[in-house]
Structure 1
Amino acid sequence: MGSCSEASPILKNWREHPPSSYSLKIQNFSQLENSTAFSDHKYQSRIFSSGGYNWTLIVYPKGNIKDNGNGFISMCVKIDSKSFMESTPQTEVFAELRFFVYNKKENKYFTIQDVEVKQFNALKMVRGLLQVLPYDTFINPENGYIFEGGECEFGVDVIVVPPGLTNWEILSFNEKLPCPKFSWPLKNFSTLKEDVYTSNIFSMGGKQWVVKLYPKGTSEAAGKWLSIYVNLVDSETLKPDEKIFKQAHVRVLDPLGSKHFASQTNRWHKESCMSWGWDEFLSLAELRKTYLDKEDTLNVEVEFEVVSVTKYSPII
């Protein structure tokens, strides 16, 4: 059947909100003590439902003596044995347990919680805490747990949790890209007439990308600046809560040496922001002066350093 005996760490605090699973109000605590002498020194509540299972709250007014609870208030919950009938596929139930003792003086609930999720099965049907409160502390009316001639209140939250992990995500950062660079030569740059040019699609970090280049600048930088953006392609549809991080260097290459013009982008791409770049990447005056080769070709390079990959649990 199991017992209240536990060895894992516990948390203690106060809260105003009453227990959500079950509350047991006693109008005369001394009479409860007397009556439990004839029921194995414990009081067992009626059945209540939580998380799809039936439970009972067990209170030991003078402690569960058999399990070293002497001198304390002991509290446990017991799962209904019908949960483990042979016809039921479920063979174990996991639950978080929080026990409550109302304090009239504080007008709050003393709350004590086992930090471990507890497993209930056919051999362990009772779980709880042996030492909720010292009996002497509880019984002293000056402390607020006993009030108005012997009234008191106990309670419990039973929060049933799945036996395994059901919702998860794994975020990794791919820093060892096999071919981290993408090169894009734009020939006859000085005679380009379109407002925007789009590179071929290239794959990087398991995603597909394109570079968009505005040879005369976007509307915000028209006529003075080269504008460049690195975009996820339209087919890379992101869910509303999905995001991808990229770290990359975008360069306009120096045809005569190694003084390339470069900027770095560190950006999370989301459904609402599939594109990121610069309206004012490089002035057209500087570009014409330094970065066109003898054949009037502008060489653009994108070098990726990091691309994130996230795996998600299936969404029902």
Structure 2
Amino acid sequence: MLKTEKSCVASDSTITTKFGVRPPSTYSMKIQSLSQLKTLFSGTDGYKSRTFSSGKYNWRLVIYPNGNEKDNGTRFISVYVELDSTALESTVLAYLTFFVYNKKENKYFTIQDTEGKQFNALRPVWGFPRVLLLDTFSDPKNGYVFDGDQCEFGVDVMVPLTNWEVVSFTQKPSNPKFYLTIEKFSKLKEHCYVSSKFLIEGRNWVIKLYPKGYNATCSTWLSLFLHLAEGEIMKTGEEIYMQCDVRILDPFGCNHVTRKLNDNISNKGRGCLELMSLAKLANAYLDKQDSLKAEIEFDVVSTTKYS
């Protein structure tokens, strides 16, 4: 829906115009003598600002003080942005907002195209040929020309970020449980035992179990950690958020020991240094075949997509 105030002639439904406080501009330009600018650029040429940067690209603000006749802008102020495309290898998407200062209102008349424009080597210039009628703009009573013969223009060039990520959290993943059975637990001699791989939310995981504790400080405890499987590559600084329950199953009833993990998985594992004392485990949690059964159940797992 087009909203207009005072004298704007834009009629495209994708264009909005309004008076308001100054938008966060990429570049602004104050002209000390509008009449001289009109004299110097009386034909079909526009005045080009120095280059400014936005989105890692160089741009120029182009003002036609007598209107751009080639773009059907006769009798209007015409404004454009030009991309420096000399070293451009692809198309650049940008969203444009132009503004014109009105000292009488102490506000900025803005004109914005809500649809992004595709800048490339074949089309490096986009803008508006009909922003304000010259008669309206040039009359000091209207506030656009002030302090004798001054005026001010600006533009905000917003180039969307090219690097982004989308983070989602899956609750109760499909097949959220994994079971681990360690046989002849009392006779284990290795420091660490690694489970087979299991798949949760597109990632392969393993459980690392330490039957005599992770280190000397925990030598009387069973330690258990959750890791990404070997070959799973994470980007620098990437983390996976997860919630899960780690259980040591009671082989003779339902008195399972449960610990909740609520943490981020980076390149290091997460788990419990003191999951269960070895004395308690030997007393009640080994079955008749001297086997230990553990279970891990995922509640929430995050996934991240990058571009």
TM-score band, normalised by shorter chain: 0.5 to 0.7
Q: Does the C-alpha gap of structure 1 residues 299 and 10 become closer, same or farther in structure 2, counting only changes over 3 Å?
A: farther
Cα distance between partner residues in 1 of 2:250 and 2:89: 70
Gap runs ≥5 in structure 1? none
For 1:249, the equivalent position in structure 2 comes to 245
Cα distance between partner residues in 2 of 1:146 and 1:239: 55
For 1:77, the equivalent position in structure 2 comes to 80
Q: Does the C-alpha gap of structure 1 residues 186 and 10 become closer, same or farther in structure 2, counting only changes over 3 Å?
A: farther
2:282 matches 1:284: no
Cα distance between partner residues in 2 of 1:32 and 1:126: 25
Paired amino acid for 1:298? L
SS at 1:14 equivalent: coil
2:190 matches 1:191: no
Q: CA deviation at 1:240?
A: 0.4
Cα distance between partner residues in 1 of 2:213 and 2:171: 32
Aligned Cα root-mean-square deviation (Å) = 4.8
For 1:295, the equivalent position in structure 2 comes to 289
Cα distance between partner residues in 2 of 1:48 and 1:5: 30
Q: Figure out how many residues of one structure are paired with residues of the other and give that number.
A: 283
SS at 2:22 equivalent: strand
Listed one character per residue, the Cα deviations across residues 250-288 of structure 1 (whole Å, up to 9, x for unaligned) are 1100111122111222333224xx311111222333323
Q: CA deviation at 1:111?
A: 7.6
- Are the equivalent residues in 2 in contact too, given 1:253–1:261 (CA < 8 A)? yes
Cα distance between partner residues in 1 of 2:12 and 2:32: 26
Q: Does the C-alpha gap of structure 1 residues 131 and 266 become closer, same or farther in structure 2, counting only changes over 3 Å?
A: farther
Worse overlay, 238-247 or 52-61:
52-61
TM-score, scaled relative to structure 2? 0.67
Cα distance between partner residues in 1 of 2:288 and 2:255: 17
Gap runs ≥5 in structure 2? 1-8
Paired amino acid for 1:77? Y
Select the residue among 162, 177, 184 that pairs with 1:181. Answer: 177
Identity of aligned residues (%): 34
Select the residue among 3, 15, 22 that pairs with 1:14. Answer: 22
TM-score, scaled relative to structure 1? 0.65
Q: Does the C-alpha gap of structure 1 residues 120 and 216 become closer, same or farther in structure 2, counting only changes over 3 Å?
A: closer
For 1:152, the equivalent position in structure 2 comes to 151
- Are the equivalent residues in 1 in contact too, given 2:248–2:294 (CA < 8 A)? yes
- Are the equivalent residues in 2 in contact too, given 1:24–1:45 (CA < 8 A)? no
Paired amino acid for 2:154? G
